[in-house]
Amino acid sequence: MKTNPTRRELIKVAGTAAISLPAISFVAGDATSTSDQTRSQSSNTRTFPKGFYWGVATSAYQIEGAWNEDGKGRSIWDTYTHTPGKIKNNDTGDVANDHYHRYKEDVALMKDVGANAYRFSIAWPRIFPDGTGQPNAKGLDFYNRLVDELVAAGIAPFATLYHWDLPQRLQDKGGWQSRETPKAFGDYAGYVAEKLSDRVKHFFTINEFHTFVDMGYQGYESQVGGGAVTLEIAPGLKLPPADLNQVRHHAVLGHGLAVQAIRAKAKQGAKCGPAENINIAVPLIESSEHIKAAEIATREANAPYLTVILEGKYTEAYLKTAGKDAPQFNDDDVKIISAPVDFVGINVYRPSFYALTSDKPGGYREVPFSASHPKMRSSWHVFGPESLYWASKFVQSLWKAKEIYITENGCAADDQLTDDGKVYDTDRVMFLRNYLTQLQRATADGVPVKGYFQWSLMDNFEWSAGYGNRFGIVYVDFKTQKRTPKLSAQWFRETARRNAVV
């Protein structure tokens, strides 16, 4: 193992420090100008593979605003947030970060924080105001301008086609309960891929099947230390189990139809895959039998989503447990659902549960979180950095993914602007360092993780929590729209620049 940097490396480091960088600096002389002697020796071994993407992520409804401009149709989130009592403080995304008008400033911010990739989502009702039918040229123009700006800045655009803002017109016709919605989604996906794939080479179909279906169509109980919290999002329905399972089926069918349409319409070289908040069972004890138990548990915990997408069949246990409530489907459906993908995107925030072996059928048991298990700011946000290691590892071991992207990871914090105009989010820095250490461990094991997207570039509309839960590495004053990079932005930039955990 190398302990001292070579002269060449020192020159390289000095060289990078000399490039004039924007003003995110909290301490006089940051790590680059400190003598390398004082750097942790292990930092030499904490590097990521060459060509790794260091990205930041956002989604359309959470940042764009301009909810009724340039011919955009209504989405279910416009309806939901305009219904009093649904969102904390009755906040809405009507203006949000005003990104629709400030996208140039925001692309410059991405550059400031050292990102070389950006994951954003496209608002379906901007492109097809009614969900289907005539496209709205002005809606597409916005994404053309954004993509051009990114390319000019040397930032790779990664586009998500569905981040929950379903056209209200489709919801009126049954939304994801109807088989027409996955079809309409496929058509929309093909249209966007055709128009943007000369510049956008990575498309994610659907963001978080598990979240938008289970929280949107039934309400979801999330296990945390000492109990559970109930989570709900638009359209805020409470369907019985059979109907819920049918919605789940339509969601993965929509993904499959989108994959087919992208393959048919996109320029050569465009790649696609899902972006799922994988349910992740973490082995409480890292010995082979408990690891095996957690792997089995992870496969079952994702049965209606990633497992059927990547295996082409529902697991026996899922169908057996669902019984008469199992989804209605035919063989063609599962072929479409499991159309080969180029990569698997996973959003990882926490362990779903810890697992141990068991003699009971199935071979694993879930261990509840202790009442004092540490949490981040969000009610559901159990702290568990190893989840990032095991999520990546199991996606490879279970499904032999060729490429994996961490499409989201991050945390909310009680960020305060201090008198000196800065935000010292030490908890977020702690969170990121611990999670990324576990991701580096996965890449060192040979797991093909190609990139990491920090959620989020900047504070934004955090769904039911409104603007209270700040997830950004850039602070946003929602009265003035002023953006201020936090301490974590400086940390992220340093990590991206070194391609190593710092």
Positions in the binding site for ligand GBH (CB under 6 A):
59, 62, 207-208, 211, 222-223, 231, 277, 347, 350, 352, 380, 408, 455, 462, 471
When the beta carbons of 380 and 424 are compared against ligand GBH, the nearer one is 380
When the beta carbons of 60 and 261 are compared against ligand GBH, the nearer one is 60
Could you give the count of Cα atoms lying within 13 Å of 19 in the half-sphere of its Cβ?
Answer: 11
Distance CA 68, CA 415 (A): 31
Distance CA 300, CA 62 (A): 31
When the beta carbons of 375 and 402 are compared against ligand GBH, the nearer one is 375
Q: Which residue is nearest to ligand GBH (CB)?
A: 222
Phi, psi (degrees; rounded to nearest 5) at 272: -150, 160
Tokens coding 258: 């989108």
* Among candidate residues 390, 382, 388, the one with its CA nearest the CA of residue 408: 388
Distance CA 114, CA 491 (A): 10
When the beta carbons of 136 and 347 are compared against ligand GBH, the nearer one is 347
Q: Taking the alpha carbons of 375, 381, 384, 388 in that order, is the dihedral positive or negative?
A: negative
Rounded least distance, CB 377 to ligand GBH, Å? 10
Q: Taking the alpha carbons of 428, 382, 353, 312 in that order, is the dihedral positive or negative?
A: negative
- Could you tell me if 459 and 61 are in contact, meaning their C-beta atoms sit under 8 angstroms apart? no
- Could you tell me if 75 and 125 are in contact, meaning their C-beta atoms sit under 8 angstroms apart? yes
Q: Which of 64, 149, 386, 408 is catalytic?
A: 408
* Among candidate residues 256, 232, 356, the one with its CA nearest the CA of residue 306: 256
Strand partners, 118: 56, 157
Distance CA 312, CA 327 (A): 15
- 408 among known catalytic residues: yes
Rounded least distance, CB 381 to ligand GBH, Å? 8
Query: Which residues fall within 8 angstroms of residue 61, CB to CB, at 6 or more apart?
Result: 75, 77, 93, 96, 123, 163, 164, 165, 461
Rounded least distance, CB 397 to ligand GBH, Å? 21
* Among candidate residues 414, 278, 413, the one with its CA nearest the CA of residue 350: 278
Distance CA 335, CA 331 (A): 7
Rounded least distance, CB 379 to ligand GBH, Å? 9
Kindly report whether the peptide bond that precedes residue 235 is cis, defined as omega within 30 degrees of 0.
yes
Rounded least distance, CB 447 to ligand GBH, Å? 21
Helices (H), 266-370: 288-301, 308-311, 316-322, 331-337
When the beta carbons of 207 and 246 are compared against ligand GBH, the nearer one is 207
Q: Which of 64, 149, 208, 295 is catalytic?
A: 208
Tokens coding 22: 């924007």
Any idea which residues carry the catalytic annotation? 208, 408
